[in-house]
Each structure stands twice: as C-alpha cells, then as structure tokens.
Structure 1
C-alpha cells in the first residue's frame, strides 16, 4: 500500500480485533508473526497494524516493562545461584583431582 493511505475507524477496529482474535487462537505464535499474518490478510502495512495494536492496549507498555524487570531480576538471581554452584563444583573437582594425584603409600 502506498504511504499516506487513510483508513476509517471501522477498518482500524476490525484489523485490531482480527489481530486480537488471532493472538488468542494461536497463543504459541509470536506477536510479530500474528501482526504480519493479519496485516497481509487485510492488505495493510505491518507497522501500521503494530502501531494500532499498541494504541488499542493502553498501559501495555508499562505492564510489559514491569514484567521484563521482574523477569530480569529473577534471571539475575538464578544466574548468581548457578555461578555459586559452579564455583563449588570447581572447588570439589580440584580437591578430588589433587587426591587422585597424591601418591599412595
């Protein structure tokens, strides 16, 4: 579609509704894939539908950033725990390797 095309409100609402229905039907599909699919079906640019979707869900950006922040904190804790466990295992491996190298007498 050429740039500068004006879409009426009914078309906009229909496109966003189709996207939301597809998201609920194909939950394993990424948002990007859903937007590309619906934009292709209704014959409009991907970016336009993506923008309309963002505008139709106010507060979503804040919710996503809160979710990402909590996910980030959780992953950092998990990483720190894994690093501690790895260090313990490294120390244990060094200890047992030294025991094996020691001459028996």
Structure 2
C-alpha cells in the first residue's frame, strides 16, 4: 500500500472523499493534549522522512537530466 493510501486510511478518508476538490475529514483530536502532541510529533517525523526521500529523488533526476543532456549529439 502506498504512503498516500496509508495516510488517507489513517486519517479516515475514503476513496470517494479523496477525489480532487473534495474536502478531507479532519482527524478527531485526542482528549489528551499529550497524546495530541505525540500524534503531531509522529506526523512531523513522517513528513520529514518524506521530504528527505523526495529531495533524494529530485537530486537523482536532476543528475540524470544533466547526464543525458550532455550525451545528446543531435
């Protein structure tokens, strides 16, 4: 299952709601502030990991584009 689908499932968003332009349901806040802080810290960690992955992929694509642009002899 992809990260997007896992995240949608975690937040309780169905496929029908996940259509473009649809408003996602907000996660139900925990009654305990400490639990909410833990949830937010976990989400921040997920987003930071995703950002690192995307940055790595972007750098790889940038290097590949530069390499292949240099290989063209038309």
Into which bin does the TM-score normalised by the smaller protein fall? 0.5 to 0.7
Q: Which structure has the larger Rg?
A: 1
Aligned-pair CA distance for 1:70:
1.1
Aligned position for 2:71: 92
Task: Rate the CA distance shift 1:56–1:86 in 2: closer, same or farther, 3 A.
Answer: farther
Q: What do you get for the CA RMSD once the two structures are aligned? A: 3.0
Residue ranges of structure 1 left out of the alignment (5+ in a row): 1-26, 38-45, 98-105
Q: Which has the higher contact order (CA 8 A, sep 6+)?
A: 1
The equivalent of 1:31 in structure 2 is 11
Q: TM-score, normalised by structure 1?
A: 0.42
- Report the CA distance between 1:30 and its aligned residue: 6.9
Unaligned runs of 5+ in 2: 1-5, 18-24
Give the corresponding residue for 2:53. 74
How many residue pairs are counted as aligned between the two chains?
Answer: 55
Richer in helix (by share): 1
1:60, distance to aligned residue in structure 2 (A) = 1.0
